[in-house]
Structure 1
Amino acid sequence: MARETMKAKRERALRVAERMNEHYPAAECALVYGGDPFRLTIAVLLSAQTTDKGVNKVTPALWERYPTPADLAAADVRDVEDIIRTIGFYHTKAANVVKCARLVVSEYGGEIPRDINELQKLPGVGRKTANVVLNEAYHIVEGIAVDTHVFRIAHRLKFAGPSADTPAKTEDALLKLYPREYWGPINHQWVLFGRETCIARKPKCGTCFLGDLCPSCGRA
């Protein structure tokens, strides 16, 4: 692909969004949280470097044992570790889960804040988690949640350059590329696309519905 102007890149990005909407018109969060913003926050915190499926296996027992933020705030970290032991980095995550619950109870009256900066004050909650919680729980779109799937796809589509070597820089590149009204669906749609087609180790470029729009597929 010849050097692309920003105008051409934006046009290509919008065509990608149109096709994503066609293939994933009702993309939803894969984490099961019962519509509770606090449970969503904990579930997203637990999902770092772990599959959503793995998180969904442990959270029912976690909610049964600790049904409210106050209950989880009073938990023994070792007991939480026992419940979430099957997911990655469970020692650190268990500690963050309890600390997060304590701060939510002590500083926010048991309610998850609706502000991206306040959310990031919670232990274990970074910008990606904050974006997911605001978008999914409160329908507040402040940015684009860049997880491993979104990071990989943004770079394969050449929407983020080599210098965008962190999730924050990749998010910034996407925010400059897409109008605000497109931000909301990106994470859910791209996560599905990353799991089904744009797989990390062996992308299915031959059958990809974005093949003619993707420089990495060689059909663009």
Structure 2
Amino acid sequence: MRAQRDAPVDSMGAEKCMDQDASPEVHRFQVLVSLMLSSQTKDQVTHAAMTKLRSHGLTVENILDTSDEVLGQLIYPVGFWKKKVGYIKKTCEILKKSYDCDIPPSVQEICKLPGVGPKMAHLCMDIGWRKLTGIGVDTHVHRISNRLGWTGRNTKTPEETRVALESWMPEKIWSETNLLLVGFGQQICLPVRPRCAECLNSALCPYGRNPANRSPKKGSPSKIPTKNGS
């Protein structure tokens, strides 16, 4: 179901928002900013904001020289954009003062930045530093893992889900887990009205085996879309 790699996250997720020709430290900073913007925001909106920021000049020093008003205009309408203006500005101050305009090299230090949590930190380490430190668990991964029964119990938070998944999941697939499940959550295992009737995994899924969840909902697509949208 994810073989086509045609979910929004595949073309507009954190790995697709940066200037690939930028210096390593600027590239890592852009990874961090894209993840900060992505919280409570659709990939399409995050990608559009990152495109505007990159055109403006997405470096630590340039953002520090940018007024809050202009920064807000650049990232609007990402979720909680007003708060994120403050988070990004404070983060840039810390990065310039303590990390020579680079991002911290550890999960613990990244999590100390304003508005940054464990999911963002693990993805920053994986995408930015090319170091695998853990599974990036967002709301999609948290929801789907619980529906599938992968956590052993209903975990309450994404961080609990990360610990549960890492306890049994082979480390060699940690890196791709977030991308695969986020796309699956965007297309099939939706937060509301998941498409269990069309899901090829429903026979193995405790949630999907529930007859009530397998009944097509009013307005649901009749089949899984292919790459060309048919």
TM-score relative to the length of structure 2: 0.79
Separation in 2, partners of 1:74, 1:108: 18
Q: What secondary structure is seen at the aligned counterpart in 2 of 1:55?
A: helix
Separation in 2, partners of 1:212, 1:194: 17
Q: What secondary structure is seen at the aligned counterpart in 1 of 2:207?
A: helix
| 1:15-69 deviations in Å (ceiling 9; x for gaps) | xxxx86x665xx8572311241111110110110001110111222222223321
Separation in 2, partners of 1:116, 1:140: 10
Which position in structure 2 is the counterpart of 1:68?
59
1:88 to 79, 85, 104: 79
Which structure carries more relative contact order (alpha carbon 8 Å, separation 6+)?
Answer: 1
Separation in 2, partners of 1:162, 1:92: 34
Separation in 1, partners of 2:206, 2:36: 33
Which position in structure 2 is the counterpart of 1:196?
187
Kept in 2, the 8 Å contact 1:197–1:208? The answer is yes
| 1:74-126 deviations in Å (ceiling 9; x for gaps) | 32222211222211101100110111111111110011222111111221211
Which position in structure 2 is the counterpart of 1:38?
29
TM-score relative to the length of structure 1: 0.83
Kept in 2, the 8 Å contact 1:75–1:98? The answer is no
Separation in 2, partners of 1:90, 1:120: 20
| 1:154-197 deviations in Å (ceiling 9; x for gaps) | 11001125552011111111111202112111000000111111
1:55 paired to 2:40: no
Which position in structure 2 is the counterpart of 1:13?
none
2:134 to 123, 140, 143: 143
Root-mean-square deviation (CA, aligned residues, Å) is 2.1
Name structure 2 gaps, 5 residues minimum. Answer: 21-26, 211-230
